[in-house]
Amino acid sequence: MRSLVLFTALSVLVGLFSSCGRTSKSMKISSFNVRYENPGDGVNTWENRKSLINEFFSKKDADIIGFQEVLHHQLQDLSQMLPEYDYVGVGREDGKEKGEFAPIFFKKEKFELLAKSHFWLSETPEVVGSKSWGAQLARIATWVKLKNKKSGHIFFIFNTHLSHVSEFARSESAVLLLKKIKSLAANVPVLVTGDFNSVPDDLSYKTMTGNWHELDPFSDSYKISRNLPINSDVTFTGFDNSKNNLRIDYIFVNGYLRVLNHETFPVIKDDIYISDHWPVISEVEFTSQKITRHDQKENVPRIAQKPIVNTNRITFSSELALELKSPTPKADIHYTIDGTKPDSLSLKYEAPLKLRKTTILKTFSTGKNLIESNIVERTFIKRKNVANRIKSITPAPHKKYSSPSYKCITDGIIGSTNISDGSWLGFNGEDIQVIMDLKKTRSISEVYASFLTDQSMWIFSPAKISIDVSNDLKKWTSFGHMEFPNALKPQTHRKTDIARITGNSKGRYVKISIKNAGPLPKWHSSEGEASWVFIDEVVVQ
């Protein structure tokens, strides 16, 4: 059995928070998603974890803690475990005790509470339990205005938990949060804690850390810590530290605060996880004057942004010209067109590419003092002169995610980032059958089908795709199949994949059977709900 893990850093860094230069002006701020009590969590139930939480915060001595996913009885437990703290928070469903809280705990002896309130992340933020922008659940933000009794500094803390389903809801929630901060806390120190359900590549993160319509941007404490952050690559594990690789829990600061240290704490004791998220703590201090964005230098290398491919086509008839561009200035683009993984020795992009055959493009950006971007993979199919007409699709796709006559799966265009614009067909919890009519008996050598993965929106790759061929819609012959054993494993980013199944057969009709991956897995925040399958282009050749 494993004993208490980690606070694994290099030995010279161990104890940074507890023994190294904490000043009288500094404060330790924590953000921690405690995981709502779920009986399906097995050994990691709340009853088994709460003593570990108590032990952790007793040792780490955080001054302020922004908790997320706290049910009312869990809030009562936390209050009993942490008697030296006062707290502010209400349930997100009724503004009282129902639903999850996003409470802020603060040391009574250190801070005076000057004001407090909350609002909902919606188009009607003052309406109790409201939700907007495709969010499945109501989401809330809690804020307090505190005075440091010793130094006299007055500052604000905002704590929240963004939608796990809708990327649009997360980005709009970030905008609302910045607007509320500007109206309530302009020109004073502000910290934001929370589970943003967003990695740094996502729009909501970029909204928080960019200058959106002249709203003051915030800095990620991990990136601007004066000392290099410790254990900061992952904050979400889903109770499995070996598979996940997501940083979605943040402490943001504005220019009136300087970040001295930042640490993520992977805590496991006797195989019990402290939560499905790791707690994070930043040590911050007030500044004598506002730090400008230019002076708020990041202490970690910048990540190059992914290259942009200039076309949204999947198929072409004779030749396709491709232009690549990196949004990161001075970044180099490397690529391969043979399906192999590119590296810094791969071809460097210098001029438009001309494709004359079916091609798998893989490309990434890199450069001096830059961390390599994620790899962009796109498949471009050179079409043969074969009619691809839809005979039937069963069951019918969800009415919100469809297109007239289902034309989106034969238009040669990749589905857009807006899943509701008619460029995708969406199916909830159902196996799918698509029958294509080639108008006459033909030789068939390959079948392509594209599908979307965006697990934050409950969209998973299928478990299996099977292809059958017939001349009369009665007698079917197997052509081939493709399985997706990782369909229910965590994926960091939204992506579009194209499945290619090859064979050798003849027929007029081609049946594509797509098997749903099944209920959302245990690690997902909506465990047990039906997963979605989104399909786009289908090509038979």
Contact (CB, 8 A) for 187 and 219: no
Helix (H, G, I), strand (E, B) or coil at 171: helix
Name the pTM for this structure. 0.59
d(CA 366, CA 374): 10
d(CA 509, CA 525): 41
Which residue is listed with tokens 């407090």? 116
d(CA 174, CA 208): 6
Residue 511 pairs in a beta bridge with: 435, 468
Contact (CB, 8 A) for 143 and 157: yes
Structure-block tokens of residue 480: 């081939």
Express each pLDDT in 465-482 by its tens digit.
999 999 999 999 999 999
DSSP string, 62-80: -SEEEEESB-HHHHHHHHH
Number of residues in the chain: 541
Structure-block tokens of residue 304: 């190059």
Question: How far does Cα 364 stand from its chain's mean position?
Answer: 20
Structure-block tokens of residue 415: 């589905």
CA distances from 471 to 385, 433, 437 (A): 19, 17, 10
> Considering only CA atoms, which of 398, 457, 463 is closest in space to residue 425?
398
Contact (CB, 8 A) for 517 and 487: yes
User: What pLDDT was estimated at residue 245?
Assistant: 66
> Considering only CA atoms, which of 192, 211, 195, 212 is closest in space to residue 256?
192
Is 301-383 a CATH 1.50.10.10 domain? no
d(CA 269, CA 273): 7
The phi, psi pair for 172, rounded to 5°, reads: -70, -35
Q: DSSP H helical segments within 159-297, as ranges? A: 167-185, 203-209, 221-224
Spans of the chain below 70 pLDDT: 1-24, 211-215, 232, 243-245, 292-303, 492-493, 525
Question: At the topology level of CATH, where does 25-300 sit?
Answer: Deoxyribonuclease I; Chain A (3.60.10)
User: What pLDDT was estimated at residue 17?
Assistant: 40
CA distances from 349 to 132, 231, 333, 365 (A): 42, 35, 5, 10
Express each pLDDT in 42-95 by its tens digit.
999 999 999 999 999 999 999 999 999 999 999 999 999 999 999 999 999 999
> Considering only CA atoms, which of 523, 513, 428, 510 is closest in space to residue 476?
510
87 sits in which H/E element: strand 85-88
CB atoms within 10 A of CB 464: 17
Q: DSSP H helical segments within 61-202, as ranges? A: 72-81, 167-185
Question: At the topology level of CATH, where does 385-541 sit?
Answer: Jelly Rolls (2.60.120)
d(CA 102, CA 92): 8
d(CA 379, CA 55): 51
User: What pLDDT was estimated at residue 196?
Assistant: 97
d(CA 519, CA 410): 29
User: What pLDDT was estimated at residue 21?
Assistant: 46
Write down the domain spans for the chain. Answer: 25-300, 301-383, 385-541
d(CA 162, CA 141): 9
Question: How far does Cα 384 stand from its chain's mean position?
Answer: 38
d(CA 434, CA 524): 29
CB atoms within 10 A of CB 513: 16
Work out whether the CA dihedral 57, 62, 67, 73 comes out positive or negative: positive
